[in-house]
Structure 1
Amino acid sequence: MRSLIGYAVCLMVALTIGYTFSPKSPAQAEPLATRPDRVQINGLLNLGSRVVAAGERGSILLSDDQGVSWQPASVGTQRNATLTAVVALDAKRLLAVGHDSWVLRSDDAGSTWQEVRYDSELGEPLLGVWTAGGDSVMTFGSFGKFYQSLDAGKTWAPQALDIDKAHLNSMAGGNDGRRMLVGEQGLVLRTDDAGRHWRSLTPFYNGSLFGIVRLSADNWVAYGMRGHVFVTHDFGNNWTQIKTGNQLPLYGHAVLPDHTGLVIVGAGSSVVRLNEQGELVGVGRLAGLGTLTSATLIGSRLLVGGERGVLQGSAGSVAALVTPQASESKGVMQ
């Protein structure tokens, strides 16, 4: 009896091994729907008729129905490196930047992308990209890396900044030549001649700053670690901390229509809203959305990106997101 059982077990093992290693006809591939909730999003760009989202593993997603559904863009050379930011030079020409100094360019509003720069040897990330419009664009990132292109991102040249290898995280400015650049260890650089000369401002904070926003020529907002938010009304000569009561880092923002204020988002689904003078309107939390890294407005609705992908706002107005009396937002996101 034991011999029969032993033979049966050996036969089952042999059949299993034979099936496992035998040649098989390939299974029919199932069409995979794009899941914007399965990829971390680091940058959002609203072109009006289209929204572009960029993030981990070289993902670029497109929505032509205001964020309801998403399709993958075509990336000519896919490096699977994380993309950190995306910017529009005009309605058709876009640039995306990321890790390994990766730069992608699109001439058709994001449908297809071509690689224009990549450096796996150095392996250092670009953390932001900014343009005042036209063909001039700047990208920047780790250890003080700063590059400028004068041909809409086709070629790039390094620009030396007088800083101590600090990471550069965000840039903002206008057509009047006034610009600011922020980074780690409270670094703030300022120029009033469109970047020909940069000057480091006296530090007013010793932690990392992840974002800088221009509200007007004189009114600017900087934000970063531990929920810190600062405002200046004289183009950076003096800064005042805004007491938000939020201890979580803030990573991204969206400027409201007609520059009537801004919304800043960050870890713990936190949301901070300021008015056009940089004054606090309210602080809220979009429960359950994890860390938020980026935001844009779809009409009056807020579209946010982060560790859980792209999340579409409800029909409610962004004005109801946070109020001076509310610490929690309800029914805003779905």
Structure 2
Amino acid sequence: MQSYETAGCRRPTGRRQLIAYALSALVMATVAYAFAPRAPAALEPTQLHPDRLHINDMLINGERLLAVGERGTILLSQDQGRSWQEATLATQRMATLTGVAALDENVLLAVGHDGWKLRSADGGATWQEIAFDGELGEPLLDVWSANGQDVFALGSFGKFYESADAGHTWSAREMTADGWHLNGMGGDRNGQQMLVGEQGLVLRSEDGGRTWETLPPFYNGSLFGVARLSDELWVTYGMRGRVFLSADFGGSWTQVELGHSHALYGHVLLPNGAGVMLVGADGSMVHLSADGQLLESTQGSGLGTLTSAVAVNERQLLVGGERGVFQGIGAQRLTASANRSMP
């Protein structure tokens, strides 16, 4: 047998063994440190960019503006939209919010994807989750109330929910919607209400939503919103720039010719009986008077698809959509049009 020496090898010395052990210990310590649980480093504060968030709905409640949209975002403004702060959600699902409604100065409700329902009792600063169904994955598209106590939430595939206690508890209700999406609701305190949805679906109620009647179809495209302009006049709007007026509570409808085919997704009733502003695709903004006359139809440059609007006052209109919240030139032009129509 050859010895280490005759084979040209030497036995490791005690010093080399110590070095090998030390290196092994260092490697083991490095691995242990890498996988040891540690508190994450503090993140830098994230700057809020309301012009980079997809906004789906807005409202003005007293002196406060609210906007809701993607990733569970709820924004608040106390200075007429010049600056925004993010509300606090007790449970953040990161699901898209699609609608918001104020029941009074303190109580607000918001709805969104996955059947998400949220409620605020402090004017929108903080929100509590009422319901969420991530497995079903079906969105609610609007929330509406005429009296601040009886509330309705509606959405995909004819989903319709009612609350008789200002949004604390909800019950589902079957509607004669043939599985079509319910997109929007409107009405007032006198009990007359309308629902609109896919395939020209229109339902009406004369008793505050206790019973509903499906109206004969007059349009085969989706309708996204409905509003009452006066005691007699209603307006609904939707795909391909379609706008319709009814003076007999939906018994018959007359189309308003806009001269374009941009879909319209949202509206705001203007102060002092100045009519309604409709907003939609490609920055479309349409102003109708209280008696349904077309006053102006224009497009705001760089606004993208608009989904909502709020009238801060008689001279200021904010619009929201896929590129956030704007007080742009287009909105100011349309507000000027509204002012010209006032008596």
Note whether the superposition's TM-score is higher than 0.5: yes
Query: Corresponding residue for 2:116?
Result: 102
Contact kept, 8 Å, 1:281 with 1:323, in 2: the verdict is: no
Query: Corresponding residue for 2:99?
Result: 85
1:248-327 matches, cutoff 5 A: 248-299=262-313, 300-313=315-328, 316=332, 318-321=334-337
Cα RMSD (Å) of the superposition? Answer: 2.1
Counterparts in 2 of 1:25 and 1:100: CA distance versus 1, 3 Å? closer
Could you tell me how far apart the structure 2 residues matched to 1:143 and 1:137 are?
19
* 1:218 Cα deviation after fit: 1.9
Query: Corresponding residue for 2:15?
Result: none
* 1:313 Cα deviation after fit: 4.4
Contact kept, 8 Å, 1:95 with 1:105, in 2: the verdict is: yes
Between structure 1 and structure 2, the one with the greater Rg is 2
Deviates more, 1:36-45 or 1:26-35: 26-35
Could you tell me how far apart the structure 2 residues matched to 1:116 and 1:221 are?
32
Could you tell me how far apart the structure 1 residues matched to 2:177 and 2:46 are?
46
**SS of corresponding position for 1:57:** helix
Could you tell me how far apart the structure 2 residues matched to 1:284 and 1:246 are?
10
Counterpart selection for 2:187 from 173, 176, 197: 173
Contact kept, 8 Å, 1:305 with 1:311, in 2: the verdict is: yes
2:150 is the counterpart of 1:149: no
**SS of corresponding position for 1:202:** coil
Could you tell me how far apart the structure 1 residues matched to 2:64 and 2:279 are?
22
Could you tell me how far apart the structure 2 residues matched to 1:64 and 1:323 are?
24
Deviates more, 1:101-110 or 1:31-40: 31-40
**SS of corresponding position for 2:52:** coil
Query: Corresponding residue for 1:220?
Result: 234
Query: Corresponding residue for 2:18?
Result: none
Counterpart selection for 1:183 from 197, 200, 206: 197
Could you tell me how far apart the structure 2 residues matched to 1:28 and 1:139 are?
39
* 1:22 Cα deviation after fit: 6.3
* 1:27 Cα deviation after fit: 5.5
1:17-166 matches, cutoff 5 A: 29-166=43-180
Contact kept, 8 Å, 1:116 with 1:154, in 2: the verdict is: yes
State the one-letter code of the partner of 1:141: G
TM-score norm. by structure 1 comes to 0.87
Amino-acid identity (%): 55
**SS of corresponding position for 1:78:** coil
Aligned length: 305
TM-score norm. by structure 2 comes to 0.85
What are structure 2's unaligned runs of at least 5 residues?
A: 1-29
Could you tell me how far apart the structure 1 residues matched to 2:96 and 2:300 are?
25
**SS of corresponding position for 1:170:** strand
Could you tell me how far apart the structure 2 residues matched to 1:313 and 1:146 are?
36
What are structure 1's unaligned runs of at least 5 residues?
A: 1-17, 325-334
* 1:316 Cα deviation after fit: 4.6
**SS of corresponding position for 2:310:** strand
Contact kept, 8 Å, 2:317 with 2:335, in 1: the verdict is: no
* 1:238 Cα deviation after fit: 1.1
Counterparts in 2 of 1:46 and 1:39: CA distance versus 1, 3 Å? same
Counterparts in 2 of 1:218 and 1:322: CA distance versus 1, 3 Å? closer
Deviates more, 1:169-178 or 1:256-265: 256-265
Contact kept, 8 Å, 1:283 with 1:322, in 2: the verdict is: no
